[in-house]
Structure 1
Amino acid sequence: MRNHRRATSADVAQEAGVSRATVSYVLNDTPNQKIPEQTRERVLAAAQRLAYSPSTAARALRRGRSDVVLGVMATTPIGVVLGYMLNSLTETLSAEGLTFVLHLHGQGAQPISEVHQALSSAGVVVIGDLPAEDLEDLHRSSTGIVRMAGTEEGRHSASPVDMLPVRATLDTMGRWAGAEQAEFLVKAGHSVLAFANYDDPAVQLTHLARLREAGVHDVCAKYGLPTPLHGVVGSDLEASTAVVRAWADAGVTAVCAYNDEAALAVLSAANDGGLKVPDDLAVIGMDDIPSARSARPPLTTVALDTATLATHVTALLLAGMGTGPCPEVEDYSFTRIIVRASA
């Protein structure tokens, strides 16, 4: 019967006729070790013949950490844009030899610190809202931590050197994104704005919505415009229509929506209330989901460049882990306005 036992470094050493230490030096590409090229090739060939792969557990034990990056977010449906973001993070981290593992943290779940310790994770990426006690638990560790949409302050990014290698913070999906919407509408000539939140808790991150609305307020204050009105729209068309009609009666000519779902609800409510978009009411969404293109009228929105964002998150994480330089703190361009017919 054929032996299906996994090959070990000892097997490779015996096959190549060298010591286990030499095998370790070659396979780990250990610096400052003068291994003859012929020996190196013999070890690599032996490892290939035996289909040898190093034990990730043993490697983590030697290094004090694994090559796993733990992604943590509250339990929530993963929509189109978040899916793109997770795919981009997986790709950029993989290019650095790291494996991205996502943990959805719900009520009664295992403490995040225990998940982190079990994986011996090299770093942590926190996405969205988490309870303060869980964040404090993570911050007590020495791992590299990047928080996305983590604070009320800042515009595009914050990676203060004195916070590294422990943690860094990005506001990339927060306050500045709402400001992008409002700047576009103000430059188009609108002076009375409203912010539309969405009534479905399954797709809304409360902290993120608050940051986006704050960005709209910032722009209105910057230009000396009235404080934006606030309203909630969503699944109840009659209630949404009442909100939109009240805005129109108050002189609102443009709406910044928390996301594209909220913007689509505003479009439906405006139509139901006898308002023409964009003549009577301009509407701008956020995320550029596929249905935004087929809306009537097609939805103007803010699209997130997930590839650029993931690249920056990875750079911050590597700096936090002590394996890369801290990226420059500057205004990264993570978004672009997709202009269609609604605004």
Structure 2
Amino acid sequence: MTQRSAAGTGSPTSADVARRAGVSRATVSYVLNDTAGGRVSEQTRQRVRAAADELGYIPHAAARALRAGHSGIVLLTAADIPFGPLFNKFYAELRAGLHAHGYTVVLYGDAGDGNDQGESAARAWAELRPTAVLAGPGGSLTPRSAELLKRSGTRAVITLGGPPVPGAHALLMDQREVGVVAAEHLLGRGHRSIGVIVPTDHALDLFSLPRLAGVRAAADSAGGGVTVARLDLDYTEAAAAELAARWPGLGLTALFSYNDEFAMLMMSAFQDAGLRVPADVAVVGADDVMLSRLLRPRLTTVRQTPPGGGNLADLIERLIQHPDAPLEVHDLATSRIVVRDSG
């Protein structure tokens, strides 16, 4: 018997599997979609699976989605944001956690913005009949597109890391708090003139601008006499060298460098310019990547700790199972200073 249907006209069908196993097509559907419960004996299950393997039969995902109204896909949409090791670790844990619940995670690029593009993107997502959509920061989810997804059968629409959107659950990761924690540490060390790096890459604005706002808020809370200087910077050695060269004339004593990568870039530039860290300039990063611990001096940083992927997957599963439940807002991450040698 070949891997073609009994009629020899195409791919094997569920009817071919049913004939081969000596059961009904309904039984084949129960077994291969894992919905048999106690209605099918283990012996019959094994016979159906063996027949499917022999024939090379694979259930049609689109047809299954049409019957169920959704596909078992959890769609993670992502704007044009550079990903790094922290996101990769988070994504791997989330994918494993959702897989344990029987879902497939699909990472879907999303470069749209504005209402029209947001609804256009949502229509493209809806064509996949996702069970849930996790709209990452910088994406194009709008209230109208959230409603469109729900009407198409998506059971849970969730914003992940970005601002809340009416009509969707919200999983928040407060970037403003990162800046607050960094500034409070530097203020506690006696610094009253703080520079804050803002990357010129506008794809990072969703992270960098709230972090800058957090530094300014902490400075305002400290009372008068605190200077916060915004320093826009390209992620290049030339730009870092130029900033290091003019640093002595800025009158600043400390630098919150947006994240650890920019901090490492600036620490190298400061060293080349003859400036000592932390004696001449205190440096604080964010994200606590592994290299921050290997630098000399070791980098003081703000660590933002999200929940484990398994716990987050459990939460998403609960939202999927209760599509009519009231909308929820969860603050996922906590921020704390990790004090090392740089500031």
The Cα of 1:265 is off from its aligned counterpart by 3.5
AA aligned to 1:210 is L
CA contact (8 A) 2:255 2:282 kept: yes
Pair 288,53 (structure 1): closer, same or farther in 2 beyond 3 Å: same
For residues 23-76 of structure 1, what are the alpha-carbon distances to aligned partners after superposition, in whole Å with 9 as ceiling and x for unaligned?
Answer: 223333437763345444443444454454322111111111112222222224
Q: Across the two proteins, how many residue pairs are aligned to each other?
A: 324
Q: Does structure 2 retain, via aligned residues, the 8 Å contact 1:244–1:269?
A: no
User: In angstroms, what is the RMSD of aligned CA positions?
Assistant: 3.6
**By how many angstroms is 1:302 displaced?**
3.0
Residue type of the partner of 2:13? T
Relative distance call for 1:326 and 1:223 in structure 2 (3 A) is: farther
Contact residue 4 and residue 55 of structure 2 kept, 8 A? no
Aligned equivalent of 1:117: 126
Q: Which residue of 2 aligns with 1:256?
A: 256
> Does residue 83 of the first structure (1) align with residue 85 of the second (2)?
no
* Displacement of 1:219: 3.0
Question: Does the alignment pair 1:277 with 2:277?
Answer: yes
| Residue aligned with 2:212, SS | helix
Measured after TM superposition, the shift of residue 147 of structure 1 is 1.8
1:155 corresponds to which residue? none
| Conserved? CA contact 1:15–1:46, under 8 Å | yes
SS of aligned partner of 1:124? strand
User: Matched residue of 2:127: which SS?
Assistant: helix
Q: Distance in 1 between matches of 2:36 and 2:50?
A: 20
Please identify, of 29-38 and 59-68, the stretch whose mean Cα deviation from structure 2 is larger: 29-38
1:164-179 counterparts in 2 under 5 A?
Answer: 166-172=167-173, 174-179=175-180
Q: Which position in structure 1 is the counterpart of 2:8?
A: none
- What secondary structure is seen at the aligned counterpart in 1 of 2:196? strand
Of 34, 52, 56, 2:39 maps to: 34
Alpha-carbon contact 1:315-1:327 (below 8 Å) kept: no
Shift of 1:217: 2.7
| DSSP 3-state at the match of 1:78 | coil
- Contiguous gaps of at least 5 residues in structure 2: 6-10
Compare 60-69 and 176-185 and name the one that shifted more: 176-185
Contiguous gaps of at least 5 residues in structure 1: 152-157
- Once the two structures are superposed, the pairs formed by residues 75-224 of structure 1 within 5 Å of their partners are 75-106=80-111, 111-131=120-140, 134-141=141-148, 142=150, 143=154, 144-151=156-163, 166-172=167-173, 174-201=175-202, 204-224=203-223
Aligned in 2, Cα 1:42/1:24: closer, same or farther, shift over 3 Å?
same
CA distance 1:245–1:104, change in 2 (3 Å): farther
User: Retained in 1: the 8 A contact 2:78–2:110?
Assistant: yes
Give yes or no for contact 2:172–2:330 (8 Å, CA) kept in 1: no
* Separation in 1, partners of 2:130, 2:249: 51
Deviations 1:143-167 (A, max 9, x none): 322223322xxxxxx89xxx7xx52
Residue 241 of structure 1 corresponds to 244
Query: 1:182, 1:256 within 8 Å by CA — same for their partners in 2?
Result: yes
Tell me the SS of whatever aligns to 1:241: helix
TM-score by length of 1: 0.77
Q: Is the 8 A contact 1:23 1:43 kept in 2?
A: yes
Query: What is the deviation of 1:285?
Result: 0.9
Q: Please give the alpha-carbon distance, in whole angstroms, between the structure 1 residues aligned to 2:91 and 2:330.
A: 23
Identity of aligned residues (%): 34
Aligned partner of residue 142 in structure 2, secondary structure: helix
Corresponding residue for residue 317 of structure 2: 318
Q: TM-score, normalised by structure 2?
A: 0.77
Q: Matches of 1:243 and 1:319 in 2, distance apart?
A: 54
Deviations 1:315-343 (A, max 9, x none): 44334433599999676555564443212
Cα deviation, residue 83, structure 1: 3.0
Distance verdict in 2 for CA 1:330–1:320, change over 3 Å: closer
